[in-house]
Each structure stands twice: as structure tokens, then as C-alpha cells.
Structure 1
Amino acid sequence: MATFQVSTIFPLRDSSNQKRIPKGVVIVATNNAPNGKVSPLTSLPKLPTRSLVEGLDMKTGAYKIPSSTVQKEIDSNPTIHSTNSALHSSAKLCDPVVMSEIYAIMEVVADRVEMHKNIGAQRDNWNHLLLSSINVITLTAATIAGIAASSTASAGVPFTALKVSSALLYVAATGMLVVMNMIQPSQLAEEQRIAARLFKQLHSQIQTTVSLQNPNTMDVKEAIEKVLALDRAYPLPLLGEMLDKFPKTVEPAIWWPQQKQLSRRGVPDQGIEGRLANRSNSWSAKLEEEMTEIVGVLKSKDVPEYLRLTEIALKINRILAISGPLLTGLAALGSAFLGCSTFGVWSGMVGVIGGALASVVNTIEHGGQVGMVVEMYRSNAGFFRLMQETIEANLREKEVGRRENGQVLEMKVALQLGRSLSELKHLSVFSYGSKLF
């Protein structure tokens, strides 16, 4: 015989007449009895089920805990209370207006990436097309000058036509070379490639901020400042805002806003144990000493070395930029004085040899993309300067909790320098040893 006790929590209904079965009854099922025998329950004590019944959601079958009970548990448990406070503060930080601003900035940054990428490809085409065109014009003028020099002035009209044509082609090549050397298309293309890469990096940084935490107004302001700093460092237009291609003093590229005081972002309170564990923020005296030595290496070796290479490349580029138009100009004068008895054969030699040398110089300068090399070295110096300022900004901050996490910063510095963590420590030890000796 099997006995089924009807719980007072779940009221049973008869399928035929939909009547409630009274509380406190037992249904006894046997193999011999045709019908269930119902008997009142008299021996079992009465269970305190009133509070459970009050908390039961009859429609969904879910049990609802009374709010007063939950509040008492939260107040009595400090861990739950701190976690609940953190969740409430996190919800307050998630401002829909701030999120809209962040996504608007991300759209602008993504658009900048495409713009700089397209303009970089266009200016790279300028370099190739102008180089080919000027070399063809120059070599054609030299060929015509050679043909004119081999003929005599008594030839009449053909000689004069050849002489004038050669001189005009040289003048046109000289003007195009002056413009090309002023704007340096290869350097312009490199600027746009670097800008596209940096804007893409900024886009990834904003995505990481949105993924790991709730952005606030400080994040929005910081992102806007970075966008404007990149626009100033690598402008899109040529007229009026183009970077000086032949500066008097060489400075590293600066594409970031001024390093300000570090601000600690709002994070949930992790309780007493969490605060004790994160009090050092993964910083130690040994790590500070290591970062100080790395700053010294960057300041004394890497940044000056790349600035020195930039100066060398800039000097070579300046010499080539002056020599090209000068040679084509002399060749134009030589072609103009062809057949003049005063200069004899020298006019023809200057007209032909000057054009040939101008083509060689132009190919070395723009085919070798010396302007691109200048911008590459300048950008590398800026990269090491940014790393130096980032580490110094963390070291200047006296409150360790406001710094960037020491372990994360160490890993980033090691990867950016192309070294492992052990190699980074060896670098700092080597730098310290070199100072001693």
C-alpha cells in the first residue's frame, strides 16, 4: 500500500469537478480497493507553513523571499552589503548619455581610420606618379638636348625647335621637382599610415574601456583629447596645416595629450581582504627601481639615438631636395645656350649630363623614399618618448592606488620593447651596472 500526503503548499484539484481537497488529508492507495481511501490526518504535528505560503507566487510557482528578510540579511552580512553597494554604484555609473558619447567618439575614430588610410594610399600614388613623370620628362629633355648638340646651328628650324623643346621640358621638370620636394609625398604617405594605425589603436582602447568597465565623463574627455591630439600631430589637409618637412630643429612626433595626474577609475569595493590585497596595486620598491632604470635608458639612449638618425636622414633629404631642381635648372640653361659659340660644347654637355644626374638624384630621393625614413625615425622617437612619459607619470604619483597596475605596466613595457619580463629585468640591471662602472 502506498500513502500520499497532500502538502498544504500545493492545493490539489480534482480533475472532474475542480474542487479543492481539504487540508490535512492522506490519500491511501491499495491494490484491492477500487477507490482511494481518504482519512483525516490526526497523528502528525501541524507544520509552520504560513510564511512559506505567503512567499509563494501561485502563478509562476516561484518562491519570493520577503523584502524585510533580505534587508536584514544584507545588513547583518558586511560582504553582501559591500557587494550590493558596489552593484548599485556600478549601475549609477552606467549613464546612457555617456555611453552615447563614447559610441559617437568610436564612430568618429573609425571614420578617421578610413580617411587616413585612403589619403595615405592616394599620396603614395602621388609619389610613384610624380617620380615616373619627372624622370620621363627629364630623360626626354636630355635626349633632345643630345640630338640638338649633335646637329649644327645651320640646320635652321629643326635645331631651334629641339633646343627650345629641351629647355621647356627642363623648366617644367624643375618646377615639378620644387613642388614635389616641398611636400615630400613619401613622407606624407607615411604620416597617414602612422595616423591610421594610431587611430585604430585608439579605437581598440575605447572598446576595451567599454568592455571592462562603465565609462564615465572622464573617459569621454580623455578620448576627445586623444582624438584632437592626433589630428594636430597628423593633419589631413596640405595647405596651411602641413607639417614642416625641413624643420630647423628635430623633435620627436607628439600625438598624445599632455600627461596629467592619474585618476583612479571607479571600481567595486572588494571588502577588507580585497583592499588589503590590492593596497600595493602590484607595485614594490624593486619594481619602482626597475622602471626608473628603464626610464633612464629610454631618455639617455633610445630617444637621442632615433633623433640622431632623424637628423642624418633629414640632412641627406635636404641635400637631395636642393640638388635635383638645381641640376635640372642648369640643364635648362645648357639647353637654352646650345649652338652659342661663347660656351662651345659645354652648353651641350651641361644640358645632357645635368638631366642624367637630375634623374639619378630624383630616383634616390623619392624612389628611395628618404622622406618616409625621416618620418619613421621621428615617429620611433615619439614612441619611446610616450613610453618614458607614461612610466614617469606613474612614478610621480605618490598614492600607489591611483597608479596603473604595476604588473600590467611591466608587461606592457616589456612587450612594447620586444622583450620578455626576464629580459626587461636584465636590461634594468645592465643599465644600473653601466652607471657604476
Structure 2
Amino acid sequence: MGLNLLYSNDRKGHYPDSWYAATATATAPFPALKGDIRADVCIVGGGYTGLSAALHLAEAGMEVVLLEAHRVGFGASGRNGGQLGSGQRMDQEGLESLMGETESRKLWQLGEEAKDLVKSLIARHDIDCHLKPGVAWTGSSHAEVKHLHDYGHHLQERYGYDQLEILDQSACHAMCPSPDYKGGFLDHGAAHLHPLNYALGLARAADAAGAKIYEQSEALEISEGAKVKLRTAAGSVTADHLILACNGYLGGLNRQVAARVMPINNFVVATEPLGDRATEVLTRDVAVADSKFVVNYFRLSHDKRLLFGGGESYGYRFPTDIEATVRKPMLQIFPHLRDVRVDYAWGGTLGITMKRMPYLARLAPNVLSASGYSGHGVGTATHAGQLMAQAIKGQAEGFDTMARVPAPAFPGGSRLRSPLLVLAMTWFAMRDRLGL
């Protein structure tokens, strides 16, 4: 049962002991599935992808059933850094090389639509998730800063993106007084939010629209065909269409997706409230992500805690001391916070792909899947749910554009891919430390 990561690090039906869970707007549990039911669409996974798909399909008048093994927002959707970024996970220069000018422009536009969708859903459904504008990208070397500045000018000149504030070293230090950072840019069109409250708000909206949500209802077996049948421990769903929205928790439900989307673990801490010392972290209420290969990301919570994410692991188990895992990069960025207490430390599992672009695929005529957001999921996953809903309704242009992004399988299959990734990550982490 633990092989699909659903139970390797968490108790069934319980959110992790995170600051997000401690401050979430509680939602009453949804029932577990009992008995045999049918639906127009069955969705597996109650994160941003599945909840967005359920909401958009239910609003279109379709009978929707969503199965979640634990609780809605249990996985990466309720544990992440809360950053709503611009564009795609791969930058536009990379996409231009990979896909060409026309497709890269379509992908940029889809990324902008993803941000707008999240902001509009929060407004339309009155989701209280502390949405605030601004995400900065910072560099730790002059070469990294030059690349960020060049890329910022590229977005301004080639894409007409006017939301960037270019930061030299003094402006960057005035915003974020870390001795590690030497400049970057601040993206005013990006944003940050309370990720679990956002997921719970989507769940309430989907429920109100008529979607039937079942928690603690793990999909154990899928039978494909003209009708798709899913079996759980206490029931089954027969549906015309199936959406797989499992991301890092897919397990063995589909080999094609599992070969291309690898689960990895990432970790976050929340310090004690910093009070007046919050200005030692940030002087503006923005989020920050740096340009290291294993990205550090952080922001201040609404009660002035430092929420800091850093460190990754591969395999099924989280490290025994998550706080120590995250403190190491945190103190590299903020050595002056050595005396600050950590009140919460938690881990989560996300899905990554070889190209760090999401994997959207039509696995069968009536089976769609979206996952592998590679740390860019707040907007992209929400949007992927909408794109799959549109595709089921016969409007597949956006889905097909995302599905055209190359998605090579990880080398060596599921047995070798994790050791190979560890080797690659170790090499890049060493380069970060050496400043290469």
C-alpha cells in the first residue's frame, strides 16, 4: 500500500502538521464512497487539478464524481510554497529553442491565462487565501543576475510583458536583506497565497456547483473501455470519461504517466512569528525564489513568520529531521536568523518531468491526465483542470497545445530513474555550492 507514496509519510485522512493546516479555514470532511455509482466524468485526485476540473465540469452541467484517497488539498496542493508564477516552469528562451516561436508564444499566453484563472476563481468564489501580488527571482552570482536581467528584458521586448521591476544589487538588498543575493527582478504580475485555503475554497466551490466529492476513497483499480470503471475499497464508479489528477501520488494507476512523471519530496518550515524582525527577511510583502538548481523559495506569512522551502529528497520516506534539512539552506540565505525558532516543519511530494514542463496526455479516447508541474503548479495545475474540462466538452485547443510539449520518459524505468536523478541533483547542488 505504501508503494504509491500515499501512506509512506502521512496518516490516512489527516493533513500534515503544517502551518497551513494549522491556519486553514476548516471544511467538514466529505464522505467516503460506498456502493456502486455512475457519472459522466470520474476524477482521481483532489488537488488543484482535480478540483478545478470538477468545478468547471459541474458548472457545465455534467455529473462529476471526484475520488480523493485522503482529504482534498492533502498533497502538494496543500503543502507548497504558495507562489503563483508567470509563464511556464521552463522559461520562454528554453521553450523557444524546444518548440519554436509560434508554440512558445501560445505557451506564454496559456501561462498568463493560468494566473488570471486563479485570481478570478479566488475573486468569484470569495476564497480567503491571502492572495498578494509580487514574486521576485534572485541570483546569487553576478552571472545569474545578468541572466535574470537579460531574461527580464527578453520578456519585456519580445512578449510585451510590462509587470517586471529590474533589481540591481542595492534594490534587491533593500527588498531582501540577504547577503547571498546580488540582484534579479520582481514580477508584479505573479502572486502568492495560502495554498491549502485556496484548495479548500476550490473544493467548496466544486461542491456547491454539484460535483460529488468523496474523501478517503483511494482508486485501487481502473478498467478502461467505452465506459471506464474505477474500484475503491467500498464501492465503484462507472463513467463516460476519466481524468487522472494524481501528480506525485499516481502510484501504479497508469504506466505511461508513471514513466514520465517522477515523484520527489520537498520541504518547508515556518518559523516563530518574527514581529519587528520580519524586515530582516523582506521589506515588501512579496515572495522570493532564487536561481539555484534546487530552488530556495520563501515569503512572510500574514502573521509574520518566515515560510521557507528548500531541500529535496528522492525515494519514499521523508528525512527524519525535516527542520535540519531546511535550516541548512535557510541559514545560507539568512545567517542572521540562526537564533530564530522553527514552529512547523513538513514535507510534500510533487511530480517532476524530464523537461520540467507538465505532462498533459490523452491516454485513451476517454481518458485524460495532467501532472508533472515541477514546482509551478498553483497556476498550471488549476489551468490544466480547466483545459481538461474544456477538452471533454469538445474544445481541446488549449489542452492539445500543452500536450504537444515533448515529454520523454525517464531513463531506466521506475527502478533506475530515482538513482539517476539523485546523481544529477547532487552534481547541480555541488555546482551551486561552488558558484559555477
Provide TM-score, normalisation by structure 1.
0.19
> Which of the pair has the greater relative contact order for Cα pairs under 8 Å at 6+ separation?
2
Question: Greater strand share, 1 or 2?
Answer: 2
Which has the larger share of helix? 1
Structure with greater Cα Rg: 1
Report the TM-score when normalising by structure 2.
0.19
